[in-house]
Each structure stands twice: as structure tokens, then as C-alpha cells.
Structure 1
Amino acid sequence: MPNQYKPTSPLDKITPHILCLWKAYQNDREIVRILREKHIDTEQSIHDAMIDIHQMYPKAGIQEVISLLFYEKNMSVSRTIVSSYFTIFKPELVRECKARCLKRRHFCAVSVNNLFTINQHDKWLRFGLGLHTRIEPFSGCFETVLDHGVNEGLYDVGNTLQNMVFRWVFIPWLQCELDAYHNRVNNTAKQHNRNKMLPHGVPSHIYDSPQDFNTLDFKVIIDHDGVDQVRKLYINPSHVVFDIVPPTLGNFIQHCYDQMGCPEVTHSSVWTVYRNLLSVLQLADNIPPTLLDETEPNEDDVPLLEGCSYLPFCKESNGPY
């Protein structure tokens, strides 16, 4: 019978380990010690992972941390352990939560595909990036990482070589982080709001099968063949706009990165990788040209339609396009 004061032991997970240790003639004390050290998550066993998570998500609550541990650290940790960790190591966040200083914000739509909010993050132009997304909370987490390099003088968006290396390192890493964020958020059930008549469940399940959650789907079905035809007519997959950096330079940077041993790029190492890679390129004698001559005509340029005018160009790095 489950103990009403303490969480029930995960017998289905630890029974095989107990049997293995018992067959190895370990006594009860040794079995408990080994289980605690290797097979049961405790506040201490998740400490390193929690430090890493809180560097990126300093205000993440218990439910979000459980999701982050599962999707980013491959750790399935009970709510009891995470709650106990917060009590021991993050008492200030617990106090803020109890004092209702941490406010949860809700956004409600009528139904699936009712509306889409598109946000172009002009504030990332100071890094030479334009993030087109519908995920506002994401950008806030990573602006701190991006600002660190700029504030430390590691990156000048006006320096061509630095800008090329920055793109080569940061854009693929940010895309991987976006993909991970997308996977985690869309596959994690949100906290149920009792004040709203909304479907409750995993967002991806609600989106794919709204009829199972007694809600409507306002999606407009379009002809995929027509979209493919338009794409073939107006989009050239080999256009330079789809290259993170010029191909010749990209191959050279990849060669230098391979010589460095292909260090892993994470939020804690991304600026170190960038700085070391930049140093290698600065010392190289055979670095290829980075940009085409701007005076050369571009055969892919499309003439301006009659009666139209060019959009104004803002020279400020933090202004609109």
C-alpha cells in the first residue's frame, strides 16, 4: 500500500537492479548504497544538470524543469525530487513563487489554427541575425548568450571575418536549439486552466487530432502540388541567400574546425568554439575571399516592377530592414 507521506518507490525500475545485486551476494546496506549512487535520482544526483539548466532558464519552475531534464538531459525525474531540490538549493525561487512574484501568463485562442502570430525579431539585427519565429520566450533565453560575446568584445558585426565565423558557428547551433525547444514544448502538456474551456493535453496531439479533444480546426486545406509548382517557379535552391556563408569560405572553416577536433558546441562552449575558430582563421595564410565584389552585377536580381519603389534601407544595426 502506498505511503501517504512519502512517494512510492519506483519498484518497476529498481527491481532488476536489486535482483542483480542480490545475486552478487550484496547485503541490504550495500544494495541501498549502490542504488542511491547509480540508479535512483536524488537532489545531489541531478545537481550538475540543474546548474546547467538554470544557466539558460533561471526562472524555470518545477514543471518546466522536469520537462527540460527529460528532453535535454535524458533524465526522467519525479516532481518530488525536483521540488526538494528547489527547497534545498533554490529557496529564493520558492519564496518568490509563494509570494506570487512569478506570474504565469496565458494566451488563449478560440481553436486550432484560429490565428498565427508572427514576430520578426529586429532586436537580433545587432548580431547580424534576423529571427523569424512565433516563439517569443525562446529569444529571451538566448539573447543573454549572444550579448555575452558582444559585451566582452569577442564579436563585431561590422567585421566581415568575425561575422562569417559567427554565422557558421551560431546559426546551426541556434537551429538545433530551436528544434529541441519545438520538440519539448509541443510534446509537453500545459498546466490545466480551470477558468477556461480549453482542451487539455499534449499540444501536438491536440493539433493533429482536434476532434479527439472536442475542438474545431480552422485549417484551410491547400493544394500541395500548387505550392510545389510556385516554389519551383520562384525559388532557386542554389541561390546564395540560402548559404550561411559563401561555400568556399564555408569549406575552409569546416577544414579548420575538423583540425580543432570538432569540439561540441553548447550554450556554455559556443563562444569558446567561435573564438578558437576565429583565431585559427586569422593565423591562416590561405584563407579564401569572403565576399563577392559588390560592383559585379547579380544575374539573379529581379527588376523592380513599374509603379513600385524600393523599401527604405536603415543603416542602423538595430533598425528595421
Structure 2
Amino acid sequence: MRKTDLEIIELLKAKHIDLTKYGLGRMKFREMRESMGLLRTRQQGHSVDSISDAMQRLRPIYPNAGIREMASLLFHEEGMMVSRSVICSYFSCYEIELVRKRLANRLKRKRFWAAGTNDIVTVDQHDKWQRFGLRLHIGLDPFSGRIHWLKIYWTNKNPRLIFSYYLEHVETYGYMPLITQSDPGSENYGIANGHTTLRHWHDPSLHGTLQHRWMRQKKNVMPEIAWSQLRRRFTPGFENLLEIGIQEEWYDPDNYLHSLVFRWVFIPWLQGELSAYQDRVNNTRKRADRNKILPHGPPNHIHQEPEEYGVLDFKIKVDPNAIAHVRNLYAPPDHPVFDLVPRSFSRVAQECYSMMGTPLITRENVWDVYRDMLARVQHFEQLPATLEQEWQVHNTEGDPDNAAFNHIPLIAGLTELPNGEDVARSDGSIYLGGVNNGNGLG
């Protein structure tokens, strides 16, 4: 999280050191840190020349990154702590045209309501990469700004898949929020049903109420802001990389072998890149803003240590038996939506990949790995005769219009939570008001 030595020492003393037996001073901590090779900005002493190679590696994939974003990228991807002045000097020397093109954006302010951390988890899907056969989904805590998950897959319309993202988060941390929230849409019925069932399990007084809020009239604004930031900070370079395959005619989304190999190679690799982006965002302090009344700090720290910021935490500890119960109901692991590719092809792909020596997939070689894999698959002697038919079934199952595959009925007879402003929840918590300026909310 790039905290100072004093901030780290205070956190260690508060959470991890028995002060009745031990002490830790600044000089001793600095000595320990330096012995581990963890050097601060001045100690690393970078210049325009020393960061040039790293900047050239990062620029093609992050063409729109400004000074603040590039400092974060250098730290998280290259392990370099570089001062703002050095990056500014680099831009002035080598990217003067980009500096001149920078324009001020006029933000449209909207209201959003949250009482504290784990008050709400809000979710949304993103279809801008549909032409590549890829779809994204996000879940986040709007109060802390923490991204809980950022997923890429061949579909984002199946309610069982969407609920599995939420359930994975709940199972990992052992707690859930008060309510979940989304745009209207049947793809969110799984998370609405599952979260409501979990809340009823732990609080029988809530029976008869749906513990999920449908945000109509484009009021689910926080995920939209997250998508906007992703489009600016992450998408351009990776989109250019994906376009290469289509332009060079290496990848035809309508060809079943092309599509299967593409999914097998690209989706796990892109998921790793998105997880790295998520980790970087969650551990980076947001830019100070006088219009924002939320606590100022890295989202991970706000979410993990809310008492440090004087805010409320509404998390509810979850019974593991309840998790197993709702998984069987709404996200059974044997459902075909959880197959990245048909199982018969997965065995073929793994064998071909092993024959290649299981190369590590990177930004530089991902298309080379794909092309090598495709050639091996096309000449594979034991390719299943029914593979094209299996792919067609697999693709049809991912079609959002396929109700038999995607539909989960919403629990009937439940009273919906109010959709609007200045309302109290069924559990007694009250919304707090504030203004969203693109960096957070009140």
C-alpha cells in the first residue's frame, strides 16, 4: 500500500506486536526493511534514464497512463519507487505531445448512498469485449472503493456463474454484507436469491424480504465508474493486443477450433492481468479531493481496518454450512457453465500444451502460444469427432436468450427493498447522503 515507515510501525504495534514484551523503533525497522532489499524512493534514486526501459515496456499496454498511474504501474509491475518529478521529466522529454493533449473532463455528479464498509456489495457486467468472445463482471464495496472481484469469462449472463463470484468472495473472507445490489436483469437472480437465503439463515426476522436491491433508472453508478476507469486505465493496450489476432486473421471467433483454443489460452491469462489490476487499484490511495467526505486511504486498508478511519463495519459472519447449502441450490459446481471449454477439448488442449513444454504465457508471447496451440490441435490425431457439436452446444448455452440454461426463478412472495434515496433498511441501518464525483461517494 506504499505506506511510510511510521505508518507501518504503528500498524505493526497496533495489530501484531505484544508491546508488553517487545518494542520496535524507526531506526531498527528501517534497518530490517533495507536488509530485505525494500528501498524507498530516494534510496532507489531513479532518473529519467534509469526508468526509460521500464517505461517503454509499460507504455504499449498502458498508453493512456498519466503521472500518478504510471508511478503505480512502475511500483506494482516493475518494483520501482519513482518520484513524481522524475516521471514528469520523462514525459516532458519523450511524450510532450501526450502532455499537450491532456484535457480536463467535466464530471457529472450523482448521489449514491452507503453507511459503511460491508453495507452494500454492488455488481455489474461489461460487454465491450463481446466481439472477442469475452465478457467481464465486477463486484465492489462502494464505501471503501474496494473491488471484491473482477472476472473475465465467455459469458456473464448466467445467474449461477454470477452468484459463484459472490460466493467465492464470501467463502474466502468468512463474512457477507447487509445487502447486494445490481441493475434489473435475470442474470442477477442467482445473487439475489443466494444472498437473501444467507441473510434469512442468519437472521430469521428478515423472512419475507428480498435482501437485494434493484437499482433502476441507471442509479447503480459505482460499478459504472469502475468500468469507466478500467476502459481508460487498462483496456486500450490489451484491446490493441487482442485486435492483432483478428487483423492478422489468426483468430476467427466463428471458427470452433479458433474459439476453443482462444478461450483456453486467453481467458486464464487475461484473468491474471485483471487480478493484478484489481490488486493495484485496491492497494493504491485515491487522489485527495476536497469534495469527497469518505475516508482517504487505500481501499484494502479502509475495508480491512475500518476502525482506523472511524467508520462502521456491517459485515456478518457466515456459517460454512449455509455457504454449502446455497451453493448446492444456486451454483452447483457440476453445472456446465463452469467449464471453460468442453471437457473433451480440455484434455486435448492440456496434452498439446504439455507437448509445447508448458511455456509461461506473457504479453509478449500470448499470440505465439495461441498459434502454436492451434496448429497442434488442428493436427491432433485423436480429436473428438463430436467436438464441433459440443462447441455449438457450449456456445448456445452461453447465449443470454437461452432461458433453459440461464434462467433461475426469483424467490416468490418477497417484499423488495425500496429503490430510492433517504430510506431506512429493514435491519434498521440508515442511508447516509453524499455526492459522487468520480473518485468515491459520501
* TM-score between both structures, scaled by the size of structure 1: 0.70
Question: Structure 1 residues 265, 190: CA separation in 2 closer, same or farther (over 3 Å shift)?
Answer: same
C-alpha separation between the residues in 1 aligned to 2:400 and 2:279? Answer: 36
> Quick check: 283-292 or 248-257, which moved more?
283-292
Q: Is the 8 A contact 1:161 1:290 kept in 2?
A: no
1:224 CA drift (Å): 4.6
Q: Which runs of 5+ in 1 are unaligned?
A: 1-10, 17-38, 302-309, 315-321
Residue number in structure 2 paired with 1:198: 294
Q: 2:62 aligns with which of 57, 65, 88?
A: 57
Q: Percent same amino acid at aligned positions?
A: 44
1:103 matched to which residue of 2?
105
Measure how far apart 1:67 and its partner are.
Answer: 0.9
Deviations 1:106-125 (A, max 9, x none): 88764434554433223333
Q: 2:83 maps to what in 1?
A: 78
Q: Does 1:259 align with 2:351?
A: no
Q: Please give the per-residue CA displacement for 1:210-261, whole angstroms capped at 9, x wherever unaligned.
A: 2321233455665553232121344332333212122332232222223323
Distance 1:276 1:59 in 2: 32
**1:97-246 counterparts in 2 under 5 A?**
97=102, 101-103=103-105, 110=114, 111-113=116-118, 115-134=120-139, 135-136=226-227, 137-138=229-230, 140-141=235-236, 142-219=238-315, 223-246=319-342
Of structures 1 and 2, the one with the larger relative CO (CA 8 A, separation 6+) is 2
| Corresponding residue for residue 272 of structure 1 | 368
**Which stretch has the larger CA shift, 82-91 or 214-223?**
214-223
One-letter amino acid of the structure 1 residue matched with residue 82 of structure 2: V
Distance 1:102 1:176, change over 3 A: farther
- Match of 2:241, SS state, is helix
Contact 1:149 1:271 in 2 (8 A): yes
1:139-165 Cα offsets, whole Å, 9 max, x none, are 533333323322332211111111110
Cα distance per residue 1:275-321 (max 9 Å; x no partner): 22212222333333463856xx99xx9xxxxxxxx97459xxxxxxx
Distance 1:236 1:178 in 2: 25
Check whether the contact 1:257–1:277 (CA below 8 A) recurs between aligned residues: yes
- Does residue 1:87 correspond to 2:87, yes or no? no
Distance 1:194 1:112 in 2: 21
Report what 2:5 is aligned to: none
In the aligned structure 2, how far is the partner of 1:163 from the partner of 1:218?
Answer: 43
Please state whether the residue corresponding to 2:286 is helix, strand or coil.
Answer: coil
Other structure's SS at 2:239 match? helix
Q: What does residue 48 of structure 1 align with?
A: 53
CA displacement at 1:75 relative to structure 2:
2.0
Q: How far 1:190 moved relative to its partner?
A: 0.8
Deviations 1:255-274 (A, max 9, x none): 22233233332233222221
Change (3 A) 1:267 1:63: same
> CA 1:290–1:193 in 2, change beyond 3 Å: closer, same or farther?
farther
Task: Provide closer, same or farther for how the CA distance between residues 186 and 261 of structure 1 changes in structure 2, counting only shifts above 3 A.
Answer: same
Aligned residues of 1:160 and 1:290 also touching (Cα < 8 A): no
Q: What is the distance in 1 between the residues matched to 2:104 and 2:362?
A: 28
Residues paired across the two proteins, number: 266
**Is the 2:284–2:298 Cα contact (8 Å) retained in structure 1?**
yes
Q: Deviations over 1:180-211 (max 9, x none)?
A: 11111000101111222221111111112223
Larger Rg: 1
C-alpha spacing 1:102/1:282, structure 2 compared with 1 (3 Å): farther
Please give the root-mean-square deviation of Cα atoms over the aligned residues, in Å. 3.4
Amino acid at match of 2:230: F
Q: Is the contact made by 2:117 and 2:312 (CA closer than 8 Å) also made in structure 1?
A: yes
Gaps of 5+ in 2: 1-29, 36-43, 140-225, 404-442
Instruction: Measure the CA separation in 2 of the matches of 1:254 and 1:81.
Output: 46
Aligned to 2:436: none
Give the 3-state SS of the residue equivalent to 2:381 in structure 1: coil
CA distance in 1 between counterparts of 2:295 and 2:51 reads 33
Q: TM-score w.r.t. structure 2 length? A: 0.53
